[in-house]
Chain A
Amino acid sequence: MNIRAELAKFLNLCFVFSSAYMFWQTYSIIADTHSPIVVVLSGSMEPAFQRGDILFLWNRNQYSKVGDIVVYEVEDKQIPIVHRVLREHHSTKNNGKQLLLTKGDNNAGNDIPLYAGKKTYLAKNTDIVGTVKGYFPQLGYVTIWVAENKYAKFALLGFLAITSLLGDE
């Protein structure tokens, strides 16, 4: 066995994963958010976004406007929520804190029942992950399939590993 050839093949595999991860990390730093790309998991924003759409976020804006589509996270819940800003209040004093009320386009009422700790507004600087600036339709279904099927993650990783180990440099 040629150890250098095997190391070179394994390096190809490392590059597949490292380049994808570092692209995501670079975008995360540029957009100033810990999760710059999210997948829509429900139909609460139809017809604007469908389940499976990939959303690209931006979080360097100081204030969100009414009508912006934002992604926020509720305490103790891992899944972020993608809804539209219905109302906002901000102050130019006190570090420019902004409070937002959101609602899904396809929901009957606003999001107050979803907020944690009996809050009636979200705080822009702590609860908002980012504002949606672009999207790609349906590509996120791969993520949904991996999340909902426990064998799919291993199948996908195995497929990536095999193609990079068997492929030419």
Chain B
Amino acid sequence: MSKPVNVYSISEVSQTLNENLPDVLARLGYTETFELVDQKLLIGYSVAIVAAVSFVIDKQFVHKDIVKYQQYLVGIYCILSVIFWYFKKYVEKAVVYSGKNDTETIKVKTSYEDSKPLYTVTLIDKKKKTLVSTLEINKVFNKEGYLQSELFLEWIKQQLATLSSKRQ
């Protein structure tokens, strides 16, 4: 059984729903793909490795002997940081799930507004058709704060069916 969450905290509720999305979509026949996550991790760890190399050579050598190398490393770090920021803001763009089944691919973005008990889901298929739906959280959470997984699954299934009918 899942842990109860504070239903008055929309950020906690949203995080719980995001964490349950992979299971729900797996039950609906989708297999999660991790391309975006892997690319983000690759860029992010490249940034960290450049900083680590700079730190190590700073400890091993006299500063004035390695200034040129530090300049290159700082330059590479800045470029990679900009790439990482661009990736997060424009490529990943709040995508919480990417997956596919035999016939289609799906991306799911979610968002919420503070002080509003609404969870907004954006579904995007491989042809870039989009469906934006809003879920009232009291429809899938009971008053004790437990997520009713079956209700959430039914709602997601309904949204996928609506997206599918939009394509036709």
A residues with CB within 8 A of B: 4, 7-8, 11, 14-15, 17-19, 21-22, 25-26, 28-29, 34, 168
- CB pair A4 B74 closer than 8 Å: no
Q: Which of chain B's residues have a CB closer than 8 A to the CB of A34? A: 63-64
Among A8, A15, A29, the residue within 8 A (CB) of B48 is A15
Quick one: closest A residue to B44, CB to CB?
Answer: A11
Contacts of B34 in A (CB 8 A): 4
Query: Interface size (B, Cβ < 8 Å)?
Result: 25
Within 8 A of A (CB), among B30-68: 34, 37-38, 40-41, 44-45, 47-48, 51-52, 54-55, 58, 63-64, 67
**B47 engages A26 (CB within 8 Å):** no
Is A11 a contact of B45 with CB atoms below 8 Å? Answer: yes
In the complex, the answer to whether A21 meets B47 with C-beta atoms within 8 Å is: no
A-B contacts besides A4-B34, A11-B48, 13 pairs, CB < 8 Å: A4-B37, A4-B41, A7-B41, A8-B37, A14-B48, A21-B54, A22-B54, A22-B77, A25-B54, A25-B74, A26-B74, A28-B63, A29-B71
Q: In the complex the two chains form, what is the Cα distance from A26 to B77 in whole Å?
A: 10
List 9 tightest A-B contacts by C-beta distance, closest first: A18-B51, A34-B63, A14-B48, A11-B44, A26-B74, A18-B48, A22-B51, A4-B37, A22-B77
Does B20 reach chain A (CB closer than 8 Å)? no
Beta-carbon contact of A29 and B67 below 8 Å: yes
Q: Which residues of A contact B44 (CB under 8 A)?
A: 8, 11, 14-15
Considering the chains assembled together, what is the distance between the CA atoms of A61 and B23 in angstroms?
62
B70 at the interface (CB under 8 A from A): yes
Considering the complex, give the chain A residue whose CB is closest to the CB of B77.
A22
Q: Do A29 and B41 have beta carbons less than 8 Å apart?
A: no
Judging by beta carbons under 8 Å apart, are B48 and A25 in contact?
Answer: no
Query: Are B52 and A29 touching (Cβ within 8 A)?
Result: no
Residues of A within 8 A of B71 (CB): 29
A22–B48 Cα gap in the complex (Å)? 10
Q: Which residue of A is nearest B22, CB measured?
A: A2
